[in-house]
Structure formats: C-alpha cells, structure tokens
Amino acid sequence: MTTIATTDVLTERGAELRAEGEVNERLGKLSEKSVEIMRQSGVMKLLAPPEYGGTRAHPAEFAEMVMKMASLDGSAGWVAGVVGVHPWELELMSPRLQEEIWGLDNETWVSSPYAPMGVATPVDGGYKFTGHWQFSTGTDHADWVILGAFLADRSGEKIMPPRFLHVVVPRSDYTIVDDSWDVVGLKGTGSKDVIINDVFVPEYRVVDQTDLFSGKVARDAGKTEPIHRLPFYSIFPQGLTAAVVGIAEGALQAHLDYQSSRVQINGFKSVEDPYTMYAVSEAAGEIRASRVSLLDNINRLYDTVAAGKEISMEQRAVGRRTQIQAAWRATAAIDTILARSGGNGLRMNNPIQRFWRDAHMGTAHAIHVPGPSYHAAVLTELGLEPPVNLAAAV
C-alpha cells in the first residue's frame, strides 16, 4: 500500500539510506543525508493533515512505509515510526497551533516523549511548565516537541489522583542534552534528553490525555475521519512495532546476503547445511507472520470505525497484544538468525549485529512491555472488565 512517491524514492535511494546506518550510529543521530531521504520519501507526511501537505493516509500504508525504511536502517525507521505519528495527534489540536508549526514550513518535525516527566502548573492564560525528559527520538531534527506532564494545582502540587497532559513546546523553549544518548541499540535515533525550566505555555498548546485517549478531543475538533476515530493506543504503537518488524526484515535480508556465499569452518557452504537453512527459514516465517498480523490488526480496527462502529475494549486490548507480540516474535526470529551467522556475523562492520541490537532496543520501549496488555486482553476475552491500571495500557 506504499505511495508511488515513497516507493520510487526508496527504490532509487535505498542503498544510500542503508549505507547511512553505520554513519548514523557513529553520529548518535540521523545524518543530514538520512533526513534528506526521509523528507523526500514523504513518510513524515502520510498521517499529516492535507491542509499542510499531508495525505492523511491509511495507517496500514504508514506501517508498511516504516517497515521498509527500518529494513534499510533501523534508526531511520524508528524515527519515522515515532515522529511520523505525531501529526495525527496535532491535527486534533488547535488550528492556531498547527499554523504555528507548519504554516511557514510543512516539513517541520515534532518529537516527543509522552512520559509525564514534567509538571504543568496553571497560570493565567496557560501553564508554567518545568521538567526533564528522556528519549526524545529524532529531537536534533525537530523544531517542536510534545511532552507528557502531571497537572498541578495553582500552588504547584500535583493533582491526585493524577491527571496527565500533553504539552507542545517550540525549540526555543527547551534545551537538548547532547551527551545523553549512549545506548546499545537504535543509536542513530538521537533520542536525547530535553529540559524545560519555568516556561510559559499557552492553553491552546495543551491537551488533556484522558480526553485524547477517550476520543473526546477528536469529537470536539469535529474530526470524523476513520483514522481520527481510532484509539490512541491503536495508532501510536503501530509505528514503533512496524519499525521493529522492519528491522527484523532488514536483519533477514542482511543474513541471506551474507549466507549466500559463506563457507563454514568445516568446508561446507552454508546453503548446503540443512540445519542452518531450516532454522533461518523458520525465522523468516516468523518475521512474515509478524508483518501480516500487524497489518491485519490495524486493517480490522480501521474497517470497524470506517463502518461507523465503535471499537470495543476487547478489540483494543487484543489489538495491543497483537502489536506487542509482533515485535517480540520478530525480535526472537533475529536471535535465531544471529545464532546461525557465525563469529563474523558479530563483527561491527556486519549490519546483522546492528539490526539485532536495534530490535532489542525497540522491544525495551514501554509500548512493548507485554505484561499489562496481555493481562488486559485475556480478561476481556473472559468477559471481564480490566482494572484501571491495565485498561490504561490499551
């Protein structure tokens, strides 16, 4: 389902993007060439509003795009999967905010994270905002950021039970901590820390997380398109999981390229080793199954809302389980592949090991923690309502 423009770009420049993988890792952020190719591909505009050059595409199309990009370079795919989803949320927010972000340059990127690592204290006309966030993916190439926050009362004390906000802030109001991204995988994503100290944020740049997750924000904005009737936890994790699956596809291709001419220490060609070929073929099937299940899941959810129906708690919970399982299944398949790559598969100039590290970093993301979502899914299948702490994960 990928667009013609993106297919053409990644066909023509895919080898360049693949070659930048090692460069991105060394830089600790995406190279300028990687960003250029990503912008040219249009991946960041797939879920953006048409008023600002977007296509408001089907989320399955977006997932396929992210998978393709991640199969070339895991970090580029991960940034696309994270940053590329943010226009979906921003289209639900104030038109004034959208104009500020995209009015002069509709290529502007907006990073995150959503974790509530800051505090927003109400003041006249908005909020006083302070915090320190980790994991701001792609932040070096973004001019705005969406940040999670605890809501405080006017005295600065956090409201209990907690209420969470998403707060949108321009680059001039936050500091990027340059030496804060030293990790084992997805090194090229540049997912650095950002810091804000007592910045004023006008009210129109803030949205209540509960209202966003419940669909109230979309309804209040008059957004009736199927994609805006999808729950937040159906659409946002999609990009991250697609990146992990794409990384697995990249690992598989790198392994096949390597094995095609590899001679093992016993003098036999790898392609003549039935045990290795069996294991790798089984891993390939698992990666394929991860792709199919992920796309089938989002297609089913999209078709439900497109038909004018509401997505049930069971559909949401089972959908989250499907996403998480796809990421873990694909990553386990890479483990199988790496174990059949021999010592040379672990050399730093062999991309197999980089895909392996990237995938494991991807499954470490909070969105891929299986416990709460799996628990919620099986409770709904038993006809039970999951408790609040589990329902919050779906």
SS3 content of the chain, % helix, strand, coil (to 5): 60, 15, 25
Q: What is the pLDDT of residue 2?
A: 40
Report the pLDDT averaged over residues 67-71. Answer: 98
Among 88, 29, 96, which residue's Cα sits nearest to residue 59?
88
Q: What is the pLDDT of residue 7?
A: 63
Among 52, 18, 53, 49, which residue's Cα sits nearest to residue 34?
18
> Is the four-CA dihedral 7, 9, 12, 13 of positive or negative sign?
negative
Higher pLDDT, 167 or 263: 167
Give the Cα separation of 212 and 70 in Å (integer).
28
* pLDDT tens, position by position, 117-151: 999 999 999 999 999 999 999 999 999 999 999 99
* pLDDT tens, position by position, 236-245: 999 999 999 9
289, burial (CB in 10 Å: exposed 0-12, middle 13-18, buried 19+) = middle
**Max CA distance (Å), the chain:** 76
List domains and CATH numbers for the chain: 4-102 (1.10.540.10), 110-208 (2.40.110.10), 226-391 (1.20.140.10)
Check pLDDT > 80 for residue 1. Answer: no
Q: What is the pLDDT of residue 3?
A: 46
6-10, 55-59, 153-157, 381-385: least confidently modelled range: 6-10
The whole-model pTM stands at: 0.96
